[in-house]
Chain A
């Protein structure tokens, strides 16, 4: 990596990248017009699949919610990667002297922000459609943040690896979904506790989620430069 002399610090660079991605999303409206409706559609389809059994839907609301988030996250990661893959934008970012770890943090923040917004909409969805009730709002919110950081950092890592690949649409879910299965397990259990559907210690599951998010954030920040080089086609 060429030694860059940035005029702005790492944190400011990350914010710049995040702002850039979010601005592109705000203008293209793909997240609002496609990803969010897709996730809501998944919630409705679960209702059909489970025969509109209100008790079952209420019981499985946390799991269905997180499954919908994961599926939508795959789409969101595609978006996050494709804004960079055209016209060599990724190279331009590094050539402009931005630190790779700052780019990683920025892209993770932007992706996480979108997922968070999506999750809030979906939370409304499961309250309305499945009759889910919130009993421990604190646990619910902190779990949501930890899980979103985990998903966003993992998504940014694997997204970068597949940047510029024709086969990304099929390979990304294959890589990402098994990797995220611990997030699905832990977030579902923690929300189960927060919504009173299962008797378990949600905070312990939250610790697992936080660990996952920490590991992947660290791995991503440390290896993002190598990832971008390796992905370069």
Chain B
């Protein structure tokens, strides 16, 4: 792992910090945090999320990073269109890929949490759920556009436009889904009745810090990979051309050595 061409001193340090943070997070989440058990004042029954509350420590950071990552993509897209920045184009693409991964994880962990707590894998009445799902699908579309053919400049501008529209679309979808849900479904209260405090609050905060650290670490590597790919496209072609020229020179030399005329009079 340490020999990866995309790692540097900074990224290695950050990687170690994130790994340690992840271990600490697991310990905090499974040992320090008490299960969410409350007593219903009227019936005396135990209610709450019990140990399922520990899922929030992966679900919430994943959601946070997903939205953070797509915000970075939108900002990057704007800068690409405004300043024709190559750096921001690479950042926007890298961030969108990580964002798509985190959006998928948000949906999956949310679904796993919803099964015991809401008694359903999927809740059509929850606006955040639907918005995140549509956002995930839009991001897949964005990534597909990034893979289309064309020169680097064309690709950058095309993706930047889709990236900007991504933001517009998410806002429109969020507003309309919210309205739709409020008019047609009984919106369930999510976890409004549970007060988050003490160790749980600290662990949640810690999980977000680790999450953002992991995002930055992943961004560094993904950025450098994208950068290498650009370099490879560029210099790979140059190398091939140089090799062809050398070959042609060889032919010319052989041809003149045997007394024939050099093909096309090559000399470079």
Contacts and interface: CB of A to CB of B under 8 A. Distances in A.
A103 to B, nearest CB: 17
A63 B134 CA distance: 18
B172 interface: yes
Interface in A123-173: 157, 161-162, 165-167, 170-171
A56 interface: no
Interface of B: 81, 134, 137-138, 140-141, 144-145, 147-150, 154, 157-158, 160-162, 165, 168-169, 172-173, 176-177, 179-180, 183-184
A185 B182 CA distance: 13
A189 B144 contact: no
19 contacts: A165-B148, A167-B147, A167-B148, A174-B144, A175-B141, A178-B134, A179-B169, A181-B134, A182-B173, A185-B180, A186-B180, A189-B183, A200-B183, A212-B172, A219-B168, A223-B161, A226-B161, A231-B158, A233-B149
A165 B140 CA distance: 17
B223 to A, nearest CB: 23
Contacts of A166: 149
Taking each of A162, A167, A182, A231, which has the highest tally of chain B beta carbons within 10 Å of its own beta carbon? A182
Nearest to B81: A226
Q: Is the interface of B mostly helix, strand, loop or mixed?
A: helix
A16 interface: no
Q: Is the interface of A mostly helix, strand, loop or mixed?
A: helix
Contacts of B145: 161-162, 171, 175
A189 B149 CA distance: 39
A171 B140 CA distance: 10
Given A165-B148, A171-B141, A229-B157, A200 B184 contact: yes
* Among all A-B residue pairs, the 4 with the closest Cβ atoms: A230-B157, A182-B176, A175-B141, A178-B137
A85 to B, nearest CB: 13
Interface size class of chain A, counting residues whose CB lies under 8 Å from the partner chain:
20 to 34
Given A227-B161, A230-B158, A174 B149 contact: no
A178 B149 contact: no
A232 B154 contact: yes
B256 to A, nearest CB: 42
Nearest to A198: B184
Contacts of B147: 167
B253 to A, nearest CB: 39
A208 B182 CA distance: 15
A211 B245 CA distance: 59
A208 B179 contact: yes
A21 B144 CA distance: 28
B141 A174 contact: yes
A144 to B, nearest CB: 18
B168 A171 contact: no
